[in-house]
Amino acid sequence: MLNEVIVLLKSCLQISDTSDWDGDTELLGAIAEFDSMAVVTVITQLEEDFGLIIDDDDINAEVFETVGTLTSFVQTRC
C-alpha cells in the first residue's frame, strides 16, 4: 500500500523522483508542491484509485503529515 500511495503522490504532485521516499517522508510544510490544491487533488485521486469516500470531517493535518500517516489513513478506509 505504501508504494501505491507514493506513486499516487508522485503523479498528483508531478514530482519526478520519489525513489528516496518512505513512510517517514514529510509532506505538509516539507514539499513545496504539496499545497492546498494538491491536497484536494490527492483526496480526489485516493477516492478514485481506492474506491474511497472521504468526508471533510475525516481530513486533518495529521493525515497529511507524512507518507506513512497518509498510507495508514488509506488502509483504515479500505
pLDDT in tens, 63-72: 999 999 999 9
pLDDT in tens, 20-32: 999 999 999 999 9
Count Cβ neighbours within 10 Å for each residue of 25-35 and write b for 16 or more, e otherwise: bebbeeeeebe
For 29, phi then psi, to 5°, come to 85, -10
Stated pTM of the model? 0.94
Q: Where are the domains of the chain?
A: 2-77
Cα distance between residue 75 and residue 24, in whole Å: 16
C-alpha cell at 69: 500517516
Residues 6+ apart with CB under 8 A from 58: 73, 77
The continuous run of DSSP H or E covering 43 comes out as: helix 36-50
Superfamily of domain covering 2-77:
ACP-like (1.10.1200.10)
